[in-house]
Structure 1
């Protein structure tokens, strides 16, 4: 465990002075993260029927502009390939797109189970404010510790890095916890009628708990002072969390389809008030038809209005065969 006055381990010298086991662990973490990101981009492009919507773009940006540059920059950085400024630039640009945008991914799918407009707006404000406060702060101390290298700058970077990791962890914890809370409420809807829906909701809760545990796990190497391990593990964890989003999305599609069947075959009052009617009746398992228009809920014009801004449901839901 390094002192707060020391340069973070690996920030300048990489992992060349570390043991072979450490080098292998870092290489495995970064290699797996890069593979996950490339695979995820391919899945995104072939899965979504329409390339638009906050969910699609936040997922794509976090993978393409976030995980990949962060991973490549970390490889150049920790294994001393090329100039230090290039490695740090790639890593830092990727960090900007990977970590804060991950919160947007969580926020964008929160709409499917949570419809308190005021609360959703506050969550979005929280994501924006955290990014405005934390990103410039960590950038300044990061560059100061990497190039000035005085005890004051090193200590400032250690403190702000821990503050940043903890802040984003708590932010994602809040969004995931709110999602789990609302998912449990949905699980309690007519529990005796749809056992398949109950199983899916249990899976959704389990996946979100895994995401929370991975966020908490990132705090351990950070507070132990293992900079290189924390950075490489962060790339791996965020790539896994993004891939888990596809598991979440597929189950959201399924649970929405099951709920749509309930709406058709049961009395309308059974639909909970926290489920938007458009979500409850739209067929998420197929892309919107393009050869005809409809004023109903299943046509290409199916949209819902949130805060005065029309939003295409099919832009969020991919074309999936379940």
Structure 2
């Protein structure tokens, strides 16, 4: 099996070799763009979201370069098999963890979040690690491009791995779409068209892995191995953009709900129900001026008078409700 046990430079045609080199160039270029976007987007470079995105993006050039060196016999197949596995684990598991790190924006149930994290860890331990071990053994055992029993087992396990990982990532993306479809009507009242646009973006990011599975079942190992970093780099660019939009939209909507306007039935003299009271405590001078004016709220709404005790917002003129 070309590529599964060793180099392919002596068995592949020039057009296929040029295609593989083109995939490598696209993946590395996308990865460089993502590095720039990550360091421009993240103000605080810490947390699971930042490190998982950085890990997933670092896995892309590692996997691409090691595949290129292995396939064209620039480096020995065995050690390159280890590097390929490391790059694959970083790229795939990193993207899964990146999706998980922002799942709390649409799911408030900690039990569901723990279940999703357990699924990601189980996929890594029971699917990715065994298949990676088979690939390393296959690389050291025989590099004669002859199908051996180990190669046959690896070939079946590799197809199963791609199907399961595609299902896991589709489930993660599907959770975003499902949960967002349930809450978008409320947020759409505030944000309008942005909510509908984000819903379509979430749908588009969930359908990028099916073509990799199709290429794998066509027994084109060398093509799908170099094509995977391209697809995952595009997927990572889309997900980084969509998740950033989701975080901004949810946080701004939450700010509007807690915002600077008093509910019409909120007593204006209740300190506990006024979250902005500590930011606009009146000075002594302003308090004296308010007392002289009969306890009317300042035109900018920056202070409250104690003479309004017991009056509701419905009893106040509209100008006094703006903050």
Give the alignment's TM-score, normalised by structure 1. Answer: 0.74
- Which residue of structure 2 lines up, in the alignment, with residue 117 of structure 1? 110
Give yes or no for the alignment of 1:52 onto 2:46: yes
Q: Which of these residues, 175, 190, 197, is aligned with residue 203 of structure 1? A: 197
Give yes or no for the alignment of 1:229 onto 2:223: yes
Indicate if the aligned counterparts of 1:69 and 1:91 stay in contact, CA closer than 8 A: yes
Q: 1:22–1:160: structure 2 CA closer, same or farther, 3 Å change rule?
A: same
Aligned to 1:214, the other structure's residue is in SS state coil
Give yes or no for the alignment of 1:250 onto 2:244: yes
Q: CA RMSD in A?
A: 2.3
- Which residue of structure 1 lines up, in the alignment, with residue 256 of structure 2? 261
**Separation (CA, whole Å) in 1 of partners of 2:168 and 2:262:** 38
Q: Deviations over 1:214-258 (max 9, x none)?
A: 111211111111111111111111111111123113312431314
- Which residue of structure 1 lines up, in the alignment, with residue 235 of structure 2? 241
Q: Which of these residues, 2, 7, 21, is aligned with residue 27 of structure 1? A: 21
**Residue 14 (structure 1) shift:** 2.2
**Residue 124 (structure 1) shift:** 0.5
Indicate if the aligned counterparts of 1:183 and 1:205 stay in contact, CA closer than 8 A: yes
**Separation (CA, whole Å) in 2 of partners of 1:110 and 1:81:** 42
- Which residue of structure 2 lines up, in the alignment, with residue 164 of structure 1? 161
202-211 or 231-240, larger mean C-alpha shift: 202-211
Indicate if the aligned counterparts of 1:98 and 1:238 stay in contact, CA closer than 8 A: yes
Indicate if the aligned counterparts of 1:144 and 1:154 stay in contact, CA closer than 8 A: no
- Which residue of structure 2 lines up, in the alignment, with residue 78 of structure 1? 71
Q: Which of these residues, 177, 180, 186, is aligned with residue 180 of structure 1? A: 177
**Separation (CA, whole Å) in 2 of partners of 1:239 and 1:139:** 21
**Separation (CA, whole Å) in 2 of partners of 1:128 and 1:138:** 15
| Structure number with larger C-alpha Rg | 2
Q: 1:33–1:81: structure 2 CA closer, same or farther, 3 Å change rule?
A: same
Q: 1:185–1:90: structure 2 CA closer, same or farther, 3 Å change rule?
A: same
In structure 2, runs of 5+ residues without a counterpart are 264-274, 276-323
- Which residue of structure 1 lines up, in the alignment, with residue 316 of structure 2? none
**Separation (CA, whole Å) in 2 of partners of 1:67 and 1:166:** 20
**Residue 267 (structure 1) shift:** 7.6
- Structure 1: 4+ residue segments shifted above 3 A: 8-11, 265-268
**Separation (CA, whole Å) in 2 of partners of 1:248 and 1:43:** 13
Q: 1 or 2 for the larger relative contact order (CA 8 Å, sep ≥6)?
A: 1
Q: How many corresponding residue pairs?
A: 260
**Residue 259 (structure 1) shift:** 4.1
Q: 1:267–1:214: structure 2 CA closer, same or farther, 3 Å change rule?
A: farther
Q: Deviations over 1:54-107 (max 9, x none)?
A: 11110011112x112111101112222122234222211111111122111111
- Which residue of structure 1 lines up, in the alignment, with residue 139 of structure 2? 146
In structure 1, runs of 5+ residues without a counterpart are 1-6, 269-280, 282-322
